[in-house]
Amino acid sequence: MAQENNSKKVGDYSPEELKQFREMFAVDLKQYRATNRRYANPILVVILVGFAAIFCSFLLSQTLIRWLLGAGICLIAAGVIIIAIAASSLQKKLLCPACHDLFIDEIGECCPECGSASLESGDWIGTQHCNACGKNLRIGRNRNFRYKACTHCGVFLDEMGL
Ligand SMILES: [Zn+2]
Ligand SMILES: [Zn+2]
């Protein structure tokens, strides 16, 4: 085999193959969401207990209760850190079935909203503009788009997006 799958772009696949990729991805996505839910509830409980501890420490407002305040803050901080770690490790498991690259990743050659390879780098904050769907794509904490297509190969994978 001369050509690796990795170098193929969306145009190199037949409609049948593209459909297969979407089906494969739907299975992965389902698993991803189920794992997400499994993690979410215990973490939420930890954070709630933390808030309850802080609340109680204020309610009782005695110096003896100061440790409760500390414990509450620690629990919340731990919960937030676990969420960050779990989210990033989960995201690394979600791969594009076509090019096997990360699905949720820095923006590559293709627009994650529509899969078109007509991105233009925009301003100094790193915003990219897609000439096909007209979106200005901002990543990071203020991400203003959904990952629907693979940003590396342009294969459209999920209507709802992530
Ligand atoms: Zn891909
Ligand atoms: Zn686009």
Residue by residue, pLDDT tens for the chain (162 residues) are 344 556 788 999 999 999 999 999 999 999 999 998 888 889 999 999 999 998 888 887 666 678 888 999 999 999 999 989 988 899 999 999 999 999 999 999 999 999 999 999 877 777 899 999 999 999 888 899 999 999 999 999 999 999
Question: What separation in Å is there between the alpha carbon of 17 and the centre of ligand 2?
Answer: 22
Q: How far apart are alpha carbons 73 and 53 in whole angstroms?
A: 8
Domain ranges for the chain, please list them: 14-94, 98-162
User: Which pLDDT belongs to residue 64?
Assistant: 60
Nearest to 110 by CA among 3, 11, 5: 11
- Checking 71-80 for CB contacts under 8 A at 24+ apart, the result is 74/50, 75/46, 75/47, 75/49, 75/50, 76/46, 76/47, 76/50, 76/51, 78/46, 78/50, 79/43, 79/44, 79/46, 79/47, 79/50, 80/47
Ion ligand 2: residues, Cβ under 5 Å: 111, 113-114, 116, 130, 132-133
Residues lining ion ligand 1 (Cβ < 5 A) are 96, 98-99, 150, 152-153
Q: 117 CA distance to ligand 1 centroid (A)?
A: 12
**C-alpha torsion 130→133→134→138, nearest 10:** -60
How far away, in angstroms, is 47 Cα from ligand 2 center? 37
First to last CA, the chain: 34
Q: Are 118 and 112 in contact (CB under 8 A)?
A: no
Q: Tell me if the pTM is above 0.95.
A: no
Residue 141 has what pLDDT? 81
- pLDDT at res. 5: 53
pLDDT at residue 2, as a whole number: 40
